[in-house]
Chains A and B, each alone.
Chain A
Amino acid sequence: MNIFRLAGDMTHLLSILVLLLKIYATKSCSGVSRKTQELYAIVFLARYLDLFTDFISVYNTFMKIVFIASSLAIVWCIRVHPMVKRSYDKDLDTFRHYLLVAASFLLALFLHEKFTFLEIFWAFSIYLEAVAILPQLVLLQRSGNVDNLTGQYVFFLGAYRGLYILNWIYRYLTEPRFTRWIACVSGVVQTALYADFFYYYFISWKNNSKLKLPA
């Protein structure tokens, strides 16, 4: 575990806390894509199937359970909680996310490290995570104005991806046999998707103005 990986995990955790805080404090999920949240729940459930077969560390196991539980809690809030549910605007959240699920699974069937049940679901989760933010980014772009907490949620998610790239560079330089193409290439694609958002996030930060995305 290096400092970049730890910082990446912490910003990932922070992003989820910011999102939960937003939903809890405002009893609203306006600006939040339910589809992205459902994709993340699928990502964690598919990836952490190894919770029952492989033990890495107490830290890993704990974080896996936190990620699964928190992603399910967020989906539950948006789908079931009476007040939060009312604030969900399904007309803005129209991304056909099932296409992402289908494409990721198909890709995992062809591109995986081993042709086993766990490995295919692991690869599937990596591909799906890479594109899972798309419904959220499209929703933000369509609604134009982004509230502070939602903006910070996406910012921390992007920061987490950026830090994971630094982690891989560090591991590549320090571990003699560090090669993991699937995770690294997908991770770079995933981070690139945030580039546009980051550009406007920094402009609004520099000008001390509200974050606005161009239509």
Chain B
Amino acid sequence: VVKGKIHDEL
């Protein structure tokens, strides 16, 4: 998981 991009859902 890329840091800061964990919220990849809507």
List, in ascending order, chain A residues with CB within 8 A of B8's CB. 56, 60
- Which chain B residues in 1-10 approach chain A with CB under 8 Å? 1, 4-10
Q: How many residues from A make CB contacts under 8 Å with B?
A: 19
Please classify the interface of chain B as helix (H, G, I), strand (E, B), loop, or mixed, using the class held by over half of its residues: loop
List, in ascending order, chain B residues with CB within 8 A of A180's CB. 6
A64: interface (CB < 8 Å): yes
Looking across the interface, which residue of chain A has its beta carbon closest to that of B4? A54
Please classify the interface of chain A as helix (H, G, I), strand (E, B), loop, or mixed, using the class held by over half of its residues: helix
List, in ascending order, chain B residues with CB within 8 A of A63's CB. 10
Residues of chain A whose beta carbon lies under 8 Å from any beta carbon of chain B: 5, 9, 12, 47, 50, 53-54, 56, 60, 63-64, 67, 113, 122, 164, 167, 177, 180, 183
Top 10 nearest A-B pairs by Cβ distance?
A: A56-B8, A63-B10, A54-B4, A54-B5, A9-B10, A122-B7, A177-B1, A56-B5, A50-B7, A60-B10
Given contacts A60-B10, A183-B9, 12 further A-B contacts (CB under 8 A): A9-B10, A50-B7, A53-B4, A54-B4, A54-B5, A54-B7, A56-B5, A60-B8, A63-B10, A67-B10, A113-B6, A167-B9
Residues of chain B whose beta carbon lies under 8 Å from any beta carbon of chain A: 1, 4-10
A-B contacts, 7 of them at CB < 8 A, read A53-B4, A54-B4, A56-B5, A122-B7, A164-B9, A177-B1, A180-B6
